[in-house]
Structure 1
Amino acid sequence: MISARLQPYFTPRRILALLVALALLVIVPAIAAGQTPTPQSPPDIADSIGELLDNNAEGQDGAVGLDARVIQLFLIVTVLSLAPGLAMMITCLPFMVIVFSFLRQALGLQQSPPNMMIMGLAMFLTFFVMEPVFTTSWDEGLSPYMDGMITEQQAIDRTLTPFRSFMEARVEADTIERLAATMPERNYDLSSEPPLPLLVTSFMLSEIKQAFQIGFVIFMPFLIIDLLVASILMAMGMMMVPPAVVSLPFKLAFFVMADGWLKITEALLRGYGVA
């Protein structure tokens, strides 16, 4: 019998766990004793390092060496981690997102279409617009570098050249000059190609400015519908009825009858086609 002092420590669950532990202590050594493991010598670290260096030396003569593969892997991981930021800086994605957001607010709809759908449509339109730029950048910069035909610096210059041409075609010259004038101590030479940080900043500001201009144009017809509905409701003495609720069906009917989504998308794509 277990004394009353030790009885709280010997519960049925703890006794069962103790029996299982004792059984394992008896069975596991027996199984291990029945097996005859084959002796293996520990790997020679010096031989492994020597083999790795030999492979690296052979790669420098023929294929891409170990250092080049490490650099390629590092560059790929870096580009993938910075892909959302790069898409917002050097493509037309922010322009598309801002225009479609203005359109949704002009219609008076808060969650339709949802943000995910607007972002998805903007991303596909961005790929549609930027496809020639992506193709040229891959063919002239990334693909030759992966084949070992050019150096890293040449690959960076050739990869950025199509994006630089795209941004220079869309950016406003006045924006570059005004941004360069904010820091005269840097002595930017605007007679040749502007530096990449200055060009990217000017491009983003130009895209935002043009997106707000188009958003203002989109707002005007829907604002007129709101004013007409509000005036009619006040003339009828229905001042307690929210004008936004009454004007929403008329704005939707006007937008659907005019095929608004397709018309606005065509206008955006033609603007980039001209650029």
Structure 2
Amino acid sequence: MRKKLLLSFIALQAWVLALGGSVFAEDPVVSITMGNGKEPVGASSLSLLLLITVLSLAPAILVLMTSFTRIVIVLGFVRTSLGTQQMPPNQVLIGLALFLTLFVMSPTLSQVNQQALQPYLKGEITQTDALAKAAVPMKEFMYKQTREKDLLLFMNYTKTEKPKTYQDIPITVLVPAFAMSELKTAFQMGFMIFIPFLVIDMVVASTLMAMGMMMLPPVMISLPFKILLFVLVDGWYLVVKSLLTSFQT
């Protein structure tokens, strides 16, 4: 009886394998069609595709075309100079940088909304005109924060003719030049933030060496003094004030 059951089970497995081999003998074909597959793709489908592309590029746009880069780098320098490891956490620094970016960019974003977004939503202008009008306030903001040296670097590389106004500068030239200028400005501000904390570290290290406590890590002693100094001078207020002032040109 057991032999018959075993033979029946083996036969069932062989039948399943044979059936599976016949079913999957050919590679499966997956096709994706837009619309009904018979008519050409409409403008609404292309607009949806373009919108998805823009949303996928939103993080890069946020980082490279706004004040976010400078703000988040300076806040990172503050934490590093204090030596508090992960305090404040990354989520707090990035959240603060995002809200400061919205605060700094609010006049520019307001112009984009009035000149491009609202007319487009009302159907007064086309999508192409809306993008062109939205680029004007963004170009104005980036041009004010971009160094001429950085701008000339990319213009000479692409052999772009000297524009009459900032509106004639291609966005592909202005964005990397703006990003380079933001990095340089952020590192300059970070260097100024490092100086007072570096002095504290040097004083503490010299004092410990003079007392013969060479085995005691100076960071353990200097950290409370750096935090105390930062709190007494209201460091976060000064850092945020410096960041906001740096965008007023």
TM-score by length of 1: 0.74
Q: Distance in 1 between matches of 2:104 and 2:42?
A: 36
State the partner residue of 2:2: 4
1:217 is matched with 192
**In the alignment, structure 1 residue 197 sits paired with structure 2 residue 188:** no
Q: Aligned letter for 2:138? A: F
Partner residue of 2:74 out of 99, 106, 111:
99
How far has the Cα of 1:146 moved from its partner? 2.2
Using the TM superposition, give the Cα deviation of residue 266 of structure 1 relative to its aligned residue in structure 2, in angstroms. Answer: 1.3
Aligned to 1:235: 210
> Does the aligned pair in 2 maintain the 1:230–1:243 contact within 8 Å?
yes
Give secondary structure in 1 for the equivalent of 2:169: coil
Q: Describe the SS at the equivalent of 1:213.
A: helix
Q: 1:115 aligns with which of 90, 109, 134?
A: 90
The gaps in structure 1 that reach 5 residues or longer are 12-48, 54-65
Compute the displacement of 1:92 (Å): 0.6
User: Match for residue 131 of structure 2?
Assistant: 156
Equivalence for 2:21 = none
Q: Report the Cα offset of residue 182 of structure 1.
A: 3.4
| 1:83-138 deviation per Cα after TM superposition (whole angstroms, max 9, x unaligned) | 10100110011111110111111001221112121111111110111112112112
After TM superposition, give the deviation of residue 8 of structure 1 in Å.
Answer: 4.2
2:238 is the alignment partner of 1:266: no
- Does the 8 Å CA contact 1:141/1:155 hold for their aligned counterparts? yes
**Mind listing any 5+ residue stretches in structure 2 that lack a counterpart?**
10-35
Residue identity opposite 1:4 in structure 2: R
C-alpha RMSD over aligned residues = 2.3
Cα separation, 2, equivalents of 1:74 and 1:128:
31
Does 2:186 align with 1:188?
A: no
Structure 2 distance, partners of 1:96, 1:188, is 32
Answer whether contact 1:188 1:194 (CA < 8 A) is retained.
no
- Would you say how many aligned residue pairs link Structure 1 and Structure 2? 221
Q: Deviation string for 1:152-196 (max 9, x for gaps)?
A: 22111101111001001111112111332334xx34324443211
Identity of aligned residues (%): 40
Post-superposition, which runs of at least 4 consecutive aligned residues in structure 1 deviate over 4 A? Answer: 8-11
Q: Secondary structure of the equivalent of 2:125? A: coil
State how far apart, in whole Å, the 1-side matches of 2:90 and 2:246 are.
24
Of the two, which has the highest radius of gyration? 1
The 1:269/1:9 distance shift into structure 2, 3 A limit, reads: farther
In 1, the alpha carbon distance for the partners of 2:195 and 2:81 equals: 9
State the secondary structure of the residue aligned to 2:214: coil
1:10 CA drift (Å): 8.1
1:135 maps to which of 105, 110, 117: 110
- Larger RCO, structures 1/2 (Cα 8 Å, 6+ apart): 2
Secondary structure, counterpart of 1:266 in structure 2: helix
Aligned twin of 1:76: 51
